[in-house]
Amino acid sequence: MQLTNLLMTVAATLSVANAYKVTTDGLNCRKGASTSDASVTTYDNGEDVNITCQTNGEDIQGNTIWDKTDDGCYVADFYVNTGSDSMVTKDCDGGSDSGSSSYQGEISRKEILERGEYWVSRHVPYSMSAYYPDPDGRKYRTDCSGFVSMALHASAPGLNTVSLPEIAKSIEWDDLKEGDFVGTLGSGTGGADGHVTLFKSWTDSSKKEYNTLECQGGNGCVYDKREVGWKVGSHTAKPYRYEKVKD
């Protein structure tokens, strides 16, 4: 009887060991680790939330950690009093698996974003001469076009801004779907004259701005937002669709 009571006490202690208080009103718990992901539920100021694991995501007030709660969704760690600016429990590992696509084969839109998030969650530094592995261990160049090539599971170590259109078709802005890409691409866009981003979603129904995953000089691989028709020098960004994407 005493042993049973002891075990029940230990179990109860473990069940609340990762409970922390919310520090703001109406904290959204989202499907993924960014404010562009849909809200699943909300928590009140002072409410205890049970954190099952943590990952890196969108930067919120200088904090990139997001906490996965036992509701199966993510909250920005900045608004949870864990007593630390670092992770306090296990890493969710970015929520990405190696996926079902084969190298240079057909790939789903969902997997394209998961592969992109694999680098973003790890804040891979930007470099035009360095390389970093994809979820399968294959190394790609860590600049903007190497990142998009990696997300598409295309040729390693990565195409460049001049050659990316060779594996894609140009589309209209209104036709953009998750996993498509937008960039200043093609002839004359080599080096600093070109840039490319993954399209994640529109920021709102006006379709004037969209959420991105991209690798930027100085910032590394991040979530960001861009306006329709952004430019690099004299080049205007246009949307593209990978020829092997599966709808």
Domains of the chain by start residue, with CATH: 2-93 (2.30.30.40), 107-246 (3.90.1720.10)
The residue type of 101 is: S
Q: Is the pLDDT of residue 16 over 60?
A: no
Does the pTM of the predicted model rise above 0.85? no
Q: How far apart are CA 88 and CA 84, in angstroms?
A: 7
Is pLDDT above 50 for 178? yes
Rounded (to 5) percent helix, strand, coil in the chain: 20, 35, 45
| Mean pLDDT, residues 5-23 taken together | 59
DSSP 125: P
Q: What percent of the chain has pLDDT over 70?
A: 90
Find out whether 135 and 118 touch, Cβ atoms under 8 Å. Answer: yes
State the Cα angle at 113 between 112 and 117, rounded to 5°: 120
- What per-residue confidence (pLDDT) applies to 243? 98
Burial of 72 (0-12, 13-18, 19+ CB in 10 A): exposed
- CA–CA gap between residue 30 and residue 96 (Å, rounded): 16
